[in-house]
Structure 1
Amino acid sequence: MQATDLCLQERYAPHNACYGCGPANDKGLHVRSFPDGDQVVAEWTPEAHHEAFPGVLNGGIIGSILDCHCNWTAAWHLMTQRGEDHPPCTVTMDYQIRLKRPTPTDGPLRLVARVVETDGDVVTVEGQLYAGDKLCDTCHGRFMAVKPGHPAYHRW
C-alpha cells in the first residue's frame, strides 16, 4: 500500500462527510481503509487533541475509528461477495468496543478488520486496534446494507 493509493473511502465515497472516515470532512478523522487479502487494514496517527489525557487516546475516538473501519470492511465484503463494482451503503446496527489497555498517541496505530459472518444484508465484523505489536482495543459489530428510502442510502 502506497500513501498515494486510493483507500476505499476515497475511491467509492469521495464526497462522504462522515466524521470518522469521510474524505470530505475537513475536521474529520480520515480513516483510510485498504483491502488486504481476507481483511481490511488501516493506519491512523492520533494527534494531541484526540487524547483523553496526556499520551492516551480518547475512548470515543477509538470507537469512531473502529466503527468506521469495520463498516467499510462490511461494505467491501458485500461488494466483492456480490461481484458488484461499487459497495452498497452500509450503516452500523450495533457495535461493542473493548478497551483492553491504554492506547498510546505517540505514533501510528494499525487497524485490522475481518468478516466473521454474513446473513443477507447483515455482516458481522471483528476489528482490532494495535499500537506497534500490542493489541489495545477490539470491536465486534454488525453492519447492514441499506435500501432506497433509508436516510443514509445515497451518502456515497
Structure 2
Amino acid sequence: MSEELCLQERYAPHNACYGCGPANDKGLRVRSFPKGEEVVASWRPEPHHEAFPGVLNGGIIGSILDCHCNWTAAWHLMNVRGEETPPCTVTMDYQIKLRRPTPTDQPLRLVARVVACEGDVVTVEGELYAGEKLCDTCHGRFMAVKPGHPAYHRW
C-alpha cells in the first residue's frame, strides 16, 4: 500500500519551495493533509534546524507555519470554488508568535484553519505543538495570484 499523498505532492510535485516543495531535496518538506475543517502536518526537526541545542530556530518555525498556512488557504479556495486543483497562493503577510521554546527532540504537529475569506484573500490561523504543548502560533493572509504574477505557474 502506498503512502497517502499530501497536498504539496498531489498538486505541486515539482514545486521547489524551501518550506514545502517536494522537489527541494534540501528544503524542509512540510507535508500538509486536510482533516475535516483543518489542515494538519507532522514535521520532524533535525539538529541543523536548531537555534541552540534542543531548541528550534525561529526562522524555521516561521517557514513551516507560513507554508502550512498557505496550503490551508489554497485548499480552502479550491473547495469553496468547486475546482479540481488549488489556485496558486502567496503570502501577503503573516505574524509568528513564539510562545515558548520549541523542542527538537520530537515530531512537531502543525494545525491550521481558515478564519476568514474575502475573494482571493484567505486569513488563516496556525499552531505548532510539541506533544500537547502549544509552542508557536501564526496569523496570516494569503492570496490567490493571477496570470502575470511571478509565482503564478509555480504549481
Q: TM-score, normalised by structure 1?
A: 0.98
The answer to whether 1:62 aligns with 2:86 is no
Q: Per the alignment, in what secondary structure is the counterpart of residue 66 of structure 1?
A: helix
**What is residue 140 of structure 1 aligned with on the other side?**
139
1:113 aligns with 2:112: yes
**SS state at 1:71 partner:** helix
The SS at the match of 2:114 is strand
Question: Deviation digits for residues 81-102 of structure 1, max 9, x if unmatched?
Answer: 1000000000000000000000
For structure 2, which runs of at least 5 residues remain unmatched after alignment?
none
Name the SS for the 1:69 alignment partner.
helix
2:140 counterpart letter in structure 1? G
Q: CA RMSD in A?
A: 1.0
Q: Deviation of residue 35 (structure 1)?
A: 0.1
Instruction: Give 3-state SS (helix, strand or coil) of 2:69's partner.
Output: helix
Local SS of the residue matching 2:28: coil
Deviation of the 1:3 alpha carbon: 8.0
Matching residue of 2:122: 123
Within 5 Å, which residues of 2 pair with 1:1-156? 4-156=3-155
- Partner Cα distance (2:3, 2:40) in 1: 15
Task: Give runs of ≥4 in structure 1 deviating > 2 Å.
Answer: none
C-alpha distance in 2 between matches for 1:10 and 1:31: 10
Taking structure 2 as the reference length, what is the TM-score of the superposition?
0.99
How far apart, CA to CA, are the structure 1 residues paired with 2:106 and 2:27?
19
- Report how far residue 76 of structure 1 moved: 0.1
Q: 1:89-123, CA deviations, whole angstroms, 9 ceiling, x for partnerless residues? A: 00000000000000000010000000000000000
Cα offset for 1:124? 0.1
Three-state SS of the structure 2 residue aligned to 1:86 is: coil
User: How far does the alpha carbon of each residue in 1:54-98 deviate from its partner, in whole angstroms, 9 at most, with x for none?
Assistant: 000000000000000000000000000100000000000000000
